[in-house]
């Protein structure tokens, strides 16, 4: 699938081509698809573990292809939305998700949309890894 976008405005602008380079799967229990490559940007939608996500490659005329932004974000397409998601949240293979493995236990919580949103924001803002403080 290839998308060609032409900018509007004054002067000549380079055409931007976007193509799918692969399908990846969401690793954390919940996450957000962001409008910009920032964990603080507006959320377009909330995604659940194991959701299939198309990673896009963006190419502008006379520039090298661009897939990862800031070294940690990917341009992706999910349903009708196109936005950014953290690279560490993506897996090339389908992951085993808690809510799939223990469906009866997970269904007891009866999470509504607002709660799914807040859990997704928590995973976006939560940093994992080793401390860089000495």
Q: Compute, in degrees rounded to 10, the torsion defined by CA atoms 91, 59, 15, 89.
A: 20
pLDDT of residue 14: 64
Domain boundaries, the chain: 2-125
Q: In this model, does residue 15 exceed pLDDT 70? A: yes
Cross-strand pairs, 69? 73
- Say which CATH superfamily domain 2-125 falls into: SH3 Domains (2.30.30.40)
pLDDT of residue 49: 87
Q: pLDDT confidence of 23, banded at 50, 70, 90?
A: very high
Q: In this model, does residue 3 exceed pLDDT 70? A: no
Q: In this model, does residue 77 exceed pLDDT 50? A: yes
């Amino acid at each position: 699938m290839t998308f060609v976008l032409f900018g509007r405005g004054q002067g000549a602008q380079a055409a931007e081509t976007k193509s799918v380079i692969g399908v990846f799967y969401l690793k954390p229990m919940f996450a957000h698809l962001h409008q910009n490559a920032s964990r603080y940007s507006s959320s377009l939608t909330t995604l659940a573990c194991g959701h299939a996500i198309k990673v896009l490659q963006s190419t502008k005329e006379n520039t090298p292809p661009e897939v990862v932004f800031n070294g940690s974000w990917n341009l992706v397409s999910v349903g009708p939305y196109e936005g950014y998601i953290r690279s560490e949240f993506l897996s090339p293979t389908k992951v085993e998700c808690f809510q799939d493995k223990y469906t009866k236990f997970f269904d007891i919580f009866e999470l509504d949309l607002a709660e799914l949103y807040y859990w997704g924001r928590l995973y976006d803002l939560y940093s994992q890894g080793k401390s860089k403080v000495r």
